Chain A
Amino acid sequence: MASFDPSVDSKEAQEIGDQAVDHNSVNAVPWRSEAEQRIYSRRLVEALRRTPSSATKPRAAGQVRETADRVLATTARGRTRWSRAILGRWRKLPSQHKKVKKASSTAGLKRTRIGGERRNRLPAVQKKARVLSRLVPGCRKVSFPNLLEEATDYISALEMQVRAMTALAQLLAGGAPAGLAGGGLS
């Protein structure tokens, strides 16, 4: 269901290219730039327009979430593993509901019982790294340096996603970005 045009306007691409600050190396998407947020917002609105309205509310919220994630991953332009993993959810399972990778809080603390109680020799860092690898999509088996890079980029992208969706919600709620309660909600 690739309804997005992944190619960016040449003008925007140039704007982004100029602003692309190379934090580490691989990921040059400037999630903190306003231009990037604008692009994401526009794509999100277009995608939401195309989403057919559902009857039940939980379903609709899930659809919005999926759409938001998919647009976010598309905006990443395939440069990161997490974004490709998100896009891969829909490619592999077109008809089923997506496999929800529940970031359960106990996942990382799952103690592999290798013998006695004190045998849990994995240093805390490795345990936490495993938890992290489960939180970042598609990064369960990547090397530790890559994991950190992906996590950093993923966090930046998520923060932008939150900013954009918050602004959009404020817009729909009443137009004034100052947070006044709008007339939309009954």
Chain B
Amino acid sequence: MRLMILCLGYRVLLPQVNQRGNSRNADKKCLCFGGQQSASEILQETCCHIRRLQKEVEQLSERLSELMDSVDISDIDRRTLQNFLQQ
């Protein structure tokens, strides 16, 4: 079971290291991958990460709804849209 939590930890924590430069925290977690406590930390961080992402989606939804009010999404230049979708 601990191994699975470790895998989750690598999945959740390491990308954040790269993105945010939060290396100090992540180092502590990576090095402590032994005790029960760090497993709990990984789960905690996972929960925080999910909440953060969900909140971001919420904010993006608000932003998109505002933009859709001012820009009719059907009117977007078809080519622009295709470029966007082809990227």
Residues of A that sit less than 8 Å from B by CB: 24, 34, 38, 41-42, 45, 48-49, 53, 57, 60-65, 68-69, 103, 105, 108, 123-125, 127-129, 131-132, 135-136, 144-145, 148, 151-152, 154-156, 158-159, 161-162, 165-169, 171-173, 175, 184-186
Contact = CB atoms under 8 A, between A and B. Distances in A.
Contact of A53 (B51, B57, B66, B69): B69
Contacts of A103: 50-51, 54
Given A152-B8, A166-B60, A175-B80, A135 B68 contact: no
Given A45-B73, A125-B43, A152-B11, A68 B57 contact: yes
A148 B4 contact: yes
B70 to A, nearest CB: 5
B5 interface: yes
Contacts of B37: 124
A156 B49 CA distance: 11
B14 to A, nearest CB: 12
A33 to B, nearest CB: 13
A29 to B, nearest CB: 14
- Majority secondary structure, B binding face: helix
Contacts, number: 143
Size bracket, chain B contacts: 35 or more
Contacts of B43: 125, 128-129, 131-132
B12 interface: yes
Contacts of A62: 61
Nearest to B81: A45
Nearest to A166: B60
